[in-house]
């Protein structure tokens, strides 16, 4: 079983305005509500490709109830810990430019934390855990480390899709996969890495011994899978960018799912990039039919 951990879920409130003007009253021509948070995006992609996943994390209030009902409607499994505060709402304003307002999330009690860590401790060795997203107020910057220590002790494979200090600390526990983007890898390197060669050389010197698999997202340029003896490069497909939310999560979910099903690294990488691209070109998470269509169009260069 795959477990997807979303410590700080959200309702993603999408507001569409034709010509947004700051400081004025703007009329939206459309709006939508989705269950959001990086781990929830992972579980949506997995559901779309026929894989079950159990969501773990914290939910509270009427907003938390909305997320549970939304996941039930999609037949996605969940086992969240309930908290007193409302789950956050993140606003995604789509106009000539895309603007996001991400809220901080609820305060989580010690009792809720202990109950959550009990669930983590009960995950079995043959299971897989995908950790992703921000951390709610009060849990502290080391909470992911606490989770990874439990997973490492119980010999459970995991991936952490995060940045900054959490990404750096995850490398101490040899995650199955890390997927930094170009900016995140530059932040980790403490210098700007622009070219593919710079990124490849840095990853080989600093990451390959610390993670089983490394994918670097290059945005509009494509994506790299970097191994010791070879590199796979997927050129970005041309299309209309509709949805930047969830594309990276879809790459992580697609790669993990494909590898767990016995695919080769190249097949898994191709599928992962197709998943991310399908989501980027869709209103919500990419559907399997569209993913398969894009997968056949991708050109993977072995370097």
Catalytic residue annotation? 249
Please state, as a whole number, how many other Cβ atoms lie within 10 Å of the Cβ of residue 264.
10
Instruction: Copy the structure tokens of residue 7.
Output: 């410590």
With CA atoms as reference, report the closest residue to 219 among 252, 256, 180: 180
CA-to-CA distance for 257 and 209, rounded, in angstroms? 23
Alpha-helical (H) ranges within the chain are: 38-48, 61-73, 110-121, 143-153, 164-170, 182-189, 196-206, 247-260, 265-280, 288-295
Please report, in angstroms and rounded to a whole number, the separation of the first and last CA atoms in the chain: 34
Q: Which helix (H) or strand (E) holds 100?
A: strand 98-101
Among 171, 165, 181, 154, residue whose Cα is nearest residue 236? 181
Q: Which SS3 state, helix, strand or coil, does residue 235 take?
A: strand
Show the tokens assigned to 288.
Answer: 């399997």
CA distance 217 to 167: 15
- C-alpha distances in angstroms, 110 versus 5, 85, 122, 141, 218? 18, 14, 19, 15, 39
């Amino acid at each position: 079983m795959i477990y997807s951990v979303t410590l700080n879920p959200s309702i993603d409130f999408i507001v569409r305005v034709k010509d947004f003007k700051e400081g004025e009253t703007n009329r939206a021509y459309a709006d939508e509500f989705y269950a959001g948070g990086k781990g929830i995006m992972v579980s949506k992609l997995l559901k779309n490709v026929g894989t079950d996943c159990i969501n773990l994390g914290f939910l509270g209030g009427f907003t938390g109830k909305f997320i549970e009902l939304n996941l039930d409607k999609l037949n996605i499994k969940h086992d969240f810990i309930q908290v007193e505060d409302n789950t956050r709402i993140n606003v995604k304003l789509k106009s000539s430019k895309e603007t996001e307002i991400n809220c901080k999330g609820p305060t989580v009690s010690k009792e809720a934390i202990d109950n959550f860590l009990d669930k983590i401790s009960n995950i079995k060795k043959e299971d897989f855990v995908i950790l992703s997203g921000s951390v709610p107020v009060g849990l502290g910057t080391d909470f992911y480390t606490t989770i990874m220590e439990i997973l490492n002790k119980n010999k459970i494979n995991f991936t952490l899709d995060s940045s900054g200090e959490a990404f750096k600390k995850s490398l101490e526990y040899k995650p199955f996969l890390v997927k930094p983007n170009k900016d995140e890898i530059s932040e980790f390197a403490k210098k700007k890495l622009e070219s593919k060669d710079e990124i490849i050389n840095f990853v080989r010197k600093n990451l390959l011994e610390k993670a089983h698999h490394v994918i670097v997202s290059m945005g509009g340029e494509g994506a790299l899978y970097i191994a010791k003896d070879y590199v796979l490069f997927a050129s970005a497909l041309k299309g209309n960018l509709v949805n930047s939310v969830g594309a990276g999560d879809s790459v992580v979910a697609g790669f993990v799912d494909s590898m767990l099903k016995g695919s080769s690294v190249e097949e898994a990488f191709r599928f992962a990039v197709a998943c991310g691209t399908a989501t980027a070109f869709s209103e919500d998470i990419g559907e399997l039919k569209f993913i398969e269509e894009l997968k056949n169009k991708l050109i993977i260069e072995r370097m």
